[in-house]
Chains A and B, each alone.
Chain A
């Protein structure tokens, strides 16, 4: 059984971020002794970067001011001026300070100017990793933040501990209810065909490949593997070690107190989008969540797009089960996050 303190920490998304927290602590103590180095923390959505900032606030409750950007900041006046006496400034979701359009970098430039001009303050910022990669290549923003921390992915053991941290030992029952059949990978299929002229029957033979069995043989379950191991392996694969995504998948599969192997949804979404659709998907991924109006604002400059086309693209993406709408915000479905990342990496829209 885990110790109470350890358990408390596991419940939070910062589980497994000890090294990251240590680097931030060192930067803060360096700052207190007169050496100021700004920090950029990068991660994908759901990876726990906001939780990490909360932890920093908890570590220095009287020295920290936290600013959270929750949607795109359109003009410089919306950047909160840093006037209070707190020496450590935390800026969460800094990717909302730019838009990928002409004139869309003015707010970010103003913010960066503020970051370098406030000599007596330490700025700790968080960014969507794909926005950061884009801005770093297009505007070289890495120069403003000498310490760059990418939130690490969880391993198999950590993921298991993290997901089970809320429960007592043996509280969750893992059940393997998938029928394991001795499936053949290659099968010869005989197709009888009636020949037109002689009216006789002839057989056509074709080779059928069972791709699921082939994949299982190479990558997955051994016959004697436990249900628990199968489930955690699949969660780790689908979430790529992202705790937020893993939690979403876990919650979806769990029928408390039972989790079954038959709940595993192994179908990887096949994304099929046109050129503008891909760019819209990139915008949604790189912003985390974004309003339709904000998308339209960027796309009108970038693709000369109209309202009907953007509605069609969003509908298409919802149909392909890759995005979801929450209130007026669109975001990538957690369980499809890494499928989307891989798709956009493959066509090099994310770098």
Chain B
């Protein structure tokens, strides 16, 4: 029984002619083009609807997997006319291929499916993966593309999720926490400094505050200086760095007016060296 299935399977492949190959190639090209169009349209739509940007972008990888899977199924089932048992046989062959040398490629594809299904991270998230940090631009079947803060496009293989920790700053939300430290002289008026820093944060045009997204100001005492830490949520994760810069600029402008000074440079460097 199995032998006859194998024979039919081989016979099917022997009958593959140029026309079948061209048709398969055309289907693959069409699937790629369709996936690109869908991704382009959804990205465009998501950028127009700021509020639902991330929700719309989440659908993109799902649709891509769906389109590619359907294309592969169509090629195997309709063009090559394989039955279910043939498909099982083919998957066995693919398994062998993975064992022999395409392990990394299939590991990437498996990781890609896991990322999409488990939502380890989503398109639009700010993530840190390995040594890279940036906004997820695209989750492909083989790799994830990140835009770094310096506008570099980084392609990281999906299988990094098996070996590296992945940190997502916002996990699907438009807002994300941004924290910043400010160092002041030891004899500074800390109450005033904390009030100024708090007001700098809550008046920033980039801030987002809600009962679950509060603003926190913390004071740390060090031997020769004090440090203030502000923790707040930036309304749009793309403004993370301008948000920090906006708070730092306005805080220091006010600090100087009120006589609050940074610690002497040698103190910080001495402490750093120790």
Partner of A103 from the list B174, B204, B209, B254 (CB cut-off 8 Å) is B254
Contact A138 B209 (CB under 8 A): yes
Task: Report Cα–Cα, A100/B204, bound state, in Å.
Answer: 8
Contact of A137 (CB < 8 Å), options: B50, B210, B249 = B210
- Residues on the B chain within 8 Å of A100, using CB: 203
Shortest distance between the CB of B225 and any CB in chain A (Å): 22
A348 adjacent to B235 (CB under 8 Å):
yes
B254 touches A102 (CB 8 A): yes
**Which residues on A sit within 8 Å (CB–CB) of B211?**
137
Contact of B51 among A103, A304, A346 (CB under 8 A): A346
> A144 near B: Cβ within 8 Å?
no
Closest to A347 in B: B50
Cβ–Cβ contact B209 & A351, under 8 A: yes
What mask results when residues 92 to 112 of chain A are scored 1 for a CB within 8 Å of chain B, else 0?
000000001111110000000
Q: What mask results when residues 246 to 268 of chain B are scored 1 for a CB within 8 Å of chain A, else 0?
A: 10011100100000000000000
A301 at the interface (CB under 8 A from B): yes
> Contact residue range for chain B?
20 to 34
Whether the pair A346, B202 counts as a contact (CB closer than 8 A) is no
Asked whether B51 lies within 8 Å of A102 as measured between CB atoms, the reply is: no
Bound CA–CA A282/B210 (angstroms): 18
Closest to B242 in A: A275
Bound-complex Cα distance A104 to B250 (A): 13
- Which of A101, A104, A348 sits near B208, CB closer than 8 Å? A348
Decide if A137 touches B209 in the complex (CB within 8 Å). yes
- Residues of B close to A104: CB separation below 8 A: 199, 203
Please measure, in the bound complex, the distance between the C-alpha atom of A100 and the C-alpha atom of B249, giving whole angstroms.
16
Q: How far is the CA of A75 from the CA of B159 in the complex (A)?
A: 60
The reply to whether the CB of A302 lies closer than 8 angstroms to some CB of chain B is yes
CB–CB A304/B249 < 8 A? yes
Q: In the complex the two chains form, is B203's CB within 8 Å of A102's CB?
A: yes
Residue-wise interface mask of A (309-351) relative to B, using a CB-CB cutoff of 8 A (1 in contact, 0 not): 0000000000000000000000000000000000001111101
In the complex, what distance in Å separates the CA atom of A104 from the CA atom of B200? 10
Per the bound structure, the CA–CA distance linking A282 and B202 in Å amounts to: 15
Partner of A102, one of B174, B200, B215, B235: B200
The reply to whether A302 and B204 form a contact with Cβ atoms under 8 Å apart is: yes
- Fill in one digit per residue for B140-153: 1 if any A CB lies within 8 Å of its CB, else 0: 00000000000000
Asked whether A303 is an interface residue with its Cβ less than 8 Å from the other chain, the reply is yes
Q: Which residues of B contact A304 (CB under 8 A)?
A: 249
| A103 pairs with B205, CB closer than 8 A | no
User: How far, in Å, is A256 (CB) from chain B's closest CB?
Assistant: 41
Identify which of B50, B199, B210, B251 gathers the most chain A CB atoms within 10 Å of its CB: B199
Give the total number of A-B pairs whose CB atoms are below 8 A apart.
Answer: 51
List B contacts of A302 (CB < 8 A): 203-205, 246, 250
Q: B50 — which chain A residues lie within 8 A by C-beta?
A: 346-348
Chain B CB within 8 A of A250 CB: no
A304 and B248 alpha carbons, distance in the complex (Å)? 13
Is B90 interfacial (CB-CB < 8 Å)? no
The interface residues of chain A lying within 8 Å CB-to-CB of B254 are 102-103
Residues of A near B251 (CB, < 8 A) are 102
Measured CA separation A137–B236 after assembly (Å): 18
Query: Is the C-beta of B196 less than 8 angstroms from some C-beta in chain A?
Result: yes
Would you call B49 an interface residue if the criterion is a C-beta within 8 Å of the partner chain's C-beta atoms? Answer: yes
Q: How far is the CB of B231 from chain A (nearest CB, A)?
A: 15
Residues of A with C-beta under 8 A to B199: 101-105
Closest chain-B Cβ to A287's Cβ sits at a distance in Å of 14
Check A348–B203 contact: CB distance below 8 A: no
Interface assignment of A46: CB less than 8 Å from any CB of chain B:
no
Q: Smallest Cβ distance from B149 to chain A, in angstroms?
A: 18
Q: Which residues of B contact A232 (CB under 8 A)?
A: none
Q: In the complex, what's the smallest C-beta–C-beta distance from B184 to chain A, in angstroms? A: 16
Residues of B within 8 A of A253 (CB): none
Minimum CB–CB distance for B182 against chain A, Å:
14
A301 contacts which chain B residues (CB < 8 A)?
A: 203, 250
The yes or no answer to A279 lying at the interface (CB within 8 A) is yes
Q: Roughly how many angstroms separate A347 CA and B235 CA in the complex, as a whole number?
A: 9
Q: Which residues of B contact A102 (CB under 8 A)?
A: 196, 199-200, 203, 250-251, 254
**Interface 1/0 per residue, B31-50 and A, CB below 8 Å:** 00000000000000000011
Tell me whether A279 and B174 are in contact in the complex, defined as CB-CB below 8 angstroms, given that A102-B250, A138-B215 are known contacts.
no
CB-CB under 8 A from B246, the residues of chain A are 302
Query: In the complex, which of the residues B51, B174, B202, B235 contacts A138, with contact meaning CB atoms closer than 8 Å?
Result: B202
Between-chain CB contacts (< 8 Å), 25 pairs:
A102-B196, A102-B199, A102-B200, A102-B251, A103-B254, A104-B199, A104-B203, A105-B199, A137-B209, A138-B209, A138-B215, A282-B205, A301-B203, A302-B203, A302-B204, A304-B249, A346-B49, A346-B50, A347-B51, A348-B50, A348-B51, A348-B235, A348-B236, A349-B235, A351-B210
Given contacts A137-B210, A348-B50, 17 further A-B contacts (CB under 8 A): A102-B196, A102-B199, A102-B203, A104-B203, A105-B199, A137-B209, A138-B215, A301-B250, A302-B204, A303-B205, A346-B49, A346-B51, A348-B174, A348-B208, A349-B235, A351-B209, A351-B210
4 nearest A-B residue pairs (beta carbon): A138-B202, A137-B209, A279-B205, A102-B199
